[in-house]
A and B are shown apart, each in its own frame.
Chain A
Amino acid sequence: MRRRNLALFAGLALMLVLVGQLQSWNLALQIFNMGLISAIMALGLNIQWGYAGLFNAGLSGFAGLGGLAVVLVATPFDPGAWHAGGWRIALALGLGAAALLAAMRLWGRMPPGPARNAALLALLIGSFFVYRWIFDGGARAVEAINPSVSGSIGGLGLPVLLAWPIGGLLAAAAAWLVGKTALGLRSDYLAIATLGIAEIVLSVMRNEDWLARGVKNVIGLPRPVPYEIDLQRSASFLAFTARWGIDPQTASSIAVKLCYSLLFIVVLMALLWLSERAKHSPWGRMMRAIRDNEVAAEAMGKDIKRRHLHIFVLGTAVIGIAGAMMTTLDGQLTPNSFQPLRFTFLIWVMVIVGGSGNNWGSVLGAFLIWFLWVEVEPAGSWLMRILAEPLPDGAAKSHLIDSAEQMRYLIMGIVLLLVLRFSPRGLIPDQ
């Protein structure tokens, strides 16, 4: 079995080498880097689905929160924005949270009846208007500051690597809220609730310009690795490329990508090691016992809802970290790019194809599916060109060739359905 798994990974490496040789090494490294990030996301989902059987349909939102963390942590501190209205926004958000907490206390303390409903409604509506009154002024003031380049509260000016764990924490906090409400109900309700929270997180990121400029995007995020242009100017780097006879421009972009790869590999390996340790610990056995038979596990005194909440929060934290890493790699935060098909359901395909429950399987599935996702497009249009060759020139032919790039969705669906049908345990089945 082990030899087969090694062969699968070797085959994957060979495909990347082929891309490097036939297309370009830049592209191969690009696929490799995104593969690493996808592997981390798949790992997070595998913790939820593979260990505990929880359906999370909100990965895009949680990854988006990770990306948001990068902006909030790593962009420079902006005292002007805070002075103009940042403190008002913070005050309003604190007030909103306090009002919600007060409403929950009130619901618990007062005896049920019309008096409780009236008090609750009055509290919520009253605090909502106060909240909007404080918040709107602050948000307007912040957004008015030089809106074409700034107009947001900025960040904390901390090192960007710190944003990765913070992204995980942010996503985990959101997951805790969703899990608190939807866990313990029917299994599909969690799916629907997570689908909803993702949609909301992303619409907040798109529309709250004071937070991270919304759809105007934040570009030029700080990097944990050197810039290409600095490398091209450094004498030692130029001497190195001259010695090996490589073009400095290509070499610099490859060097930067390799630095990212190194960072990502360290994170992936650490998370993989932790997940494997967790899986083979008593805790992991308990989770599997719960997954396989909830009734029996409950009879043994396990608090299923609590365990599920733990694992849901943990898995989401991993997804948040991956989202932060991806935003760092891109160097920009574009809320519109977090599409559910690409970020939620594609990760599902990775986990299922790789083998639910098996961490190495998730990593393999992530690389394989990401590779397919990237390469299906050129392959599809090449194939379509050949197939459409005998057709007469005209609307039908150009439509066929143009729509070839949409093939990837079809292919991914077919891959998922075939694996589910004929090999539901995936490429590397869990023991």
Chain B
Amino acid sequence: MDVLNALVLLMNYVIIPATSYGAQLALGGLGVTLVYGILRFSNFAHGDTMAFGTTITILVTWWFQSMGVNFGVLPTALLALPFGIAATAALVLLTDRGVYRFYRKKRVAPVFMVIVSTGVMFVMNGLTRFIIGVGDQNFADGARFLVTASQFKAWSGLEEGLAIRVTTALTIATALVVVAALFWFLRTTRTGKSMRAFSDNEDLALLSGISPDKVVRVTWLLVGALATIAGVLYGLDKSFKPFNYFQLLLPIFAAAVVGGLGNPLGAIAGGFVVAFSEVTVTYAWKKVLSYLLPPGLVPGGLVQLLSTDYKFAVSFAILVVVLLFRPTGLFNGKSL
């Protein structure tokens, strides 16, 4: 019984939150890694792209709510998501046309592109602040729980409850669908294959008649969609605050680098590696241990390795370890 209690406790506070956070990071990391693989630079504007997409989705959600449209138990934001994706895709395509394309044609060094992307970051950040302000916005509605802790306790007869929030389930389900669709697209469609060819060897891809403009356009469309979905899921799960999205840049980069920049499968694995390390290191293990150990051995402290305020330090530590020992990442991304 005690083992079961410990397991449920672990599920409730470590495994489920880490899975949903990992899925959000994986979606964010996929966007970063696609830009890196096809356009060959680290996109510092990605966090603010996510914030912009979420902002538009929130506005449309409010509009739907004011008209009384809702999605039953699911959050209304899901209905508004296509609008957010369309607006973000339009914005990133415009940005590419107006900003990045010029430098791509000139073939500037990747680090120069990073600086250009910080300019784009400023603009997108300003747009987001201008449209919705800097405050916290909560836009989740619909049912809150799939399973509440008390329901679970009554059903199982355990001391510990297991709560599954709708947003958590939604995050995991959406991430699965999106990732499956993305991989299907990259592996089987003609455009997807040409994107992979372009990422592997640009010169050979150009020689075999692949249109670079089309590849870049499709990439930005995908990046806009991924960024918006990741941003909305994160916002539903936690809350929306533009500055937090900027801060997400670090774990997202860590996820992409850990898996190997430019490698989509790596970004997903990296997202979960970062999320699970973050949650396990900052979780207070005392209660779990109190179920597992005999009473005399239970430690007095919280058994929390790091305070939750240091969750960024965890992404950073993982990043440094990977950079030191395996710079191409776990899944052999691009190096140099």
Q: Which A residues lie at the B interface, using CB under 8 A? A: 53, 55, 57, 128, 136, 181-182, 185-189, 191-193, 195-197, 199-200, 203-204, 206-207, 339-341, 345, 348-349, 352, 402-403, 406-414, 416-417, 420-421
Contacts and interface: CB of A to CB of B under 8 A. Distances in A.
Interface range on chain B: under 10, 10 to 19, 20 to 34, or 35 or more? Answer: 35 or more
Q: Which 10 A-B pairs have the closest CB atoms?
A: A413-B122, A410-B126, A409-B126, A413-B123, A406-B129, A196-B316, A416-B119, A188-B42, A417-B119, A187-B111
Interface in B7-58: 41-42, 44
A165 B174 CA distance: 53
A412 B126 CA distance: 9
B249 A195 contact: yes
Nearest to B42: A188
Contacts of B316: 193, 196-197, 199-200
Interface string B261-292: 00000000000000000000000000000000
B82 to A, nearest CB: 25
Interface stretch (B175-183, B195-203, B232-240, B305-313): B305-313
A417 B309 contact: no
A41 to B, nearest CB: 16
A416 B99 CA distance: 11
B114 interface: yes
Interface stretch (B145-153, B184-192, B317-325): B317-325
Interface string B118-148: 1111111111011101100000000000000
B-side interface mostly: helix
B120 A413 contact: yes
Contacts of B319: 192-193, 196
Contacts of B44: 57, 191
A192 B42 CA distance: 9
Contact of B114 (A191, A200, A203, A206): A191
B92 interface: no
Nearest to A419: B119
A192 B257 contact: yes
Contacts of A197: 316
Contact of B130 (A181, A187, A406): A406
A187 B320 CA distance: 15
A196 B109 contact: no
Given A207-B307, A421-B102, A189 B110 contact: no
A181 B320 contact: yes
B36 to A, nearest CB: 8
Given A189-B327, A197-B316, A416-B119, A407 B309 contact: no
20 contacts: A186-B335, A187-B114, A188-B110, A188-B111, A193-B319, A193-B323, A195-B250, A196-B250, A196-B316, A200-B310, A341-B246, A345-B118, A345-B122, A348-B115, A403-B129, A410-B130, A413-B125, A416-B122, A417-B119, A420-B115
Contacts of A57: 44
B119 A420 contact: yes
Given A185-B335, A207-B309, A341-B122, 6 more contacts: A188-B114, A199-B312, A341-B125, A409-B123, A413-B119, A413-B123
Contacts of B254: 192, 196
A103 to B, nearest CB: 12
A55 B116 CA distance: 12
A64 B116 CA distance: 25
Given A189-B323, A191-B42, A403-B129, A206 B309 contact: yes
Given A406-B133, A413-B125, A55 B313 contact: no
B126 A406 contact: yes
